[in-house]
Amino acid sequence: MEKFVKINFLGAAGVVTGSKFLIETSEKNILIDCGMFQGLKALRELNWEDLPIDVSSIDVVLLTHGHLDHVGYLPRLLKQGFKGKIKGTAPTLAIAEIILKDSAKIHEEEANKANKEKYTKHSPALPFYTIKDAENTIKQFEVELEDKWVQLSEHIAFRFQYNGHIIGATFIELDINEKRFVFSGDIGRKNDYLLSDPKKPEWADVLFIESTYGNKLHPVENIEDVLTEIILETIHKKGNLIIPSFAVERLQTLMFILWKLYQKNRIPNIPIFVDSPMGNNVLDVFKRFPKWHKLSSEDYTAMCNHVNIIQSYKETWETIDDKRSKIIIAGSGMVTGGRVLTYLQQLIDEPSTTVLLVGYQAEGTRGRQLQEGAHEIRFFGKYYPVKATIKNIESLSAHADQKDLLDWVSDIKNVPEHVYLIHGEPASLDAFRVKLKAVYNWNATIPKLTDVSKVLV
């Protein structure tokens, strides 16, 4: 009798975020990633809907890495009846724990603020999930080693393979009845400041590959030169440089580069404030898992000692009131929430302020609005005029660009039966589809949300 694997595209299909792929087999049902949608309101509203599947039938969740758009939906999955294990590498689960707790705290705080200040049409506004929900989720975490095959059932095994991008990140090889399904997760870049180069898959019968930058090449720019120039200009203007930053990886990379620039005497000893409680916790993950990155313990300590790590909201306000020129690195990277909003509320209408965007800005986020030249942005229920200079460094992205993506699949010895392009906006997905056909003569499919595919195994 013919056996099929059923693939449910529950997220990151036709869009960048919300990564969720359910693989249904006769032996096990496996969910690859379980992320939240971010960006456009129509997408964010999908987070509140139950998944269109029987969640209680999922046996296990495998996580490629710890970012919110890959793990942020997990507490909702439990509420809908999931009872299995959530597996990832040790640093991935450490990052996921930090992100879920932080996210839950923000959800609770925002619901309380909205109810208190009455800028919500919901009565009452409820958190997406609570700290208790996050803690219950973390109890189901189970660490697996990188590069080791794990048997899930008689004919199903998987392994995690190092993938750069962020600490702990992997791609997943899933063997079902001797057919190999490869899930790229988010692919990192070569010659990263902190991480080793990604490994590459050597065989893929069914390939799921991210296409965030499927239509772009990262600019070839000297990041140290660009940053130096922006910092010296900020000092000249007697202003502040605000860098909205993702707490995982980008923050640590920025700290490292700024420390190196000071060491090389390229920038003066300008005060650097890091205001991201989550980012501080991620620094501890770097300390706990030295084999997963390139920083020596001496460099790690020196880098941490070079910056001022803000511990409390009171210190946030003291930093804003500090009249010196300074660099402020604060979450979140797409300006969707977090501490950076407090700084922007006070400083975005000052011409002496520079806001530096340092990563992918999804459609519908405030970061994208700033990148595209918005004259005002809205948060905390009000509009704030943008008088600050907005700058953008794309080459600090932790995502592979089109050239890197093509290189990542270059060791695959066979022609995959199915190639699914995921994690991209429509223009990016289509450009990468055309490029894969031109370079490798592979036919790729661009699934849409809630699509279902069947693969013979």
Residue pLDDT tens, the chain, 457 long? 678 999 999 999 999 999 999 999 999 999 999 999 998 899 999 999 999 999 999 999 999 999 999 999 999 999 999 999 999 999 999 999 999 998 999 899 888 888 888 776 777 889 999 999 999 999 999 999 999 999 999 999 999 999 999 999 999 999 999 999 999 999 999 999 999 999 999 999 999 999 999 999 998 889 999 999 999 999 999 999 999 998 888 899 999 999 999 999 999 999 999 998 788 899 999 999 999 999 999 999 999 999 999 988 899 999 999 999 999 999 888 998 888 999 999 999 999 999 999 988 888 899 999 999 999 999 988 999 999 999 999 888 889 999 999 999 999 999 999 999 999 999 999 999 999 999 999 999 999 999 999 999 9
Of 149, 178, 54, the C-alpha closest to 456 is 178
pLDDT at site 1: 66
Indicate the SS3 state at residue 12: coil
Cα distance between residue 421 and residue 427, in whole Å: 12
Return the structure tokens found at 404: 């890197």
Quick check: 363 and 393 in contact, CB under 8 A?
A: no
CA 159 to each of CA 62, 132, 240: distance values in angstroms, whole numbers, following the listed order: 10, 31, 46
Q: How many residues does the chain have?
A: 457
- Answer yes or no: pTM beyond 0.85: yes
pLDDT at site 359: 83
pLDDT at site 120: 67
Cα distance between residue 266 and residue 258, in whole Å: 10
Taking each helix axis from N to C terminus, what angle separates 223-236 and 250-263, rounded to the nearest 10 degrees?
Answer: 70
Widest Cα–Cα separation across the chain? 75
Q: What single letter denotes the amino acid at residue 355?
A: V
Quick check: 362 and 16 in contact, CB under 8 A?
A: yes
Neighbouring CB atoms inside 10 A of 146's CB total: 19
- Which residues neighbour 315 within 8 Å (Cβ) at sequence distance 6 or greater? 275
pLDDT at site 17: 95
Residue found under tokens 């036919």: 443
Quick check: 261 and 228 in contact, CB under 8 A?
A: yes
pLDDT at site 203: 98
Instruction: Provide the phi-psi class of 128: left if phi over 0, else alpha when psi is between -120 and 50, else beta.
Output: alpha
Quick check: 447 and 453 in contact, CB under 8 A?
A: yes
Of 231, 239, 293, 228, the C-alpha closest to 264 is 228
Q: Kindly tell me the sign of the dihedral angle through the C-alpha atoms of 33, 421, 41, 390.
A: positive
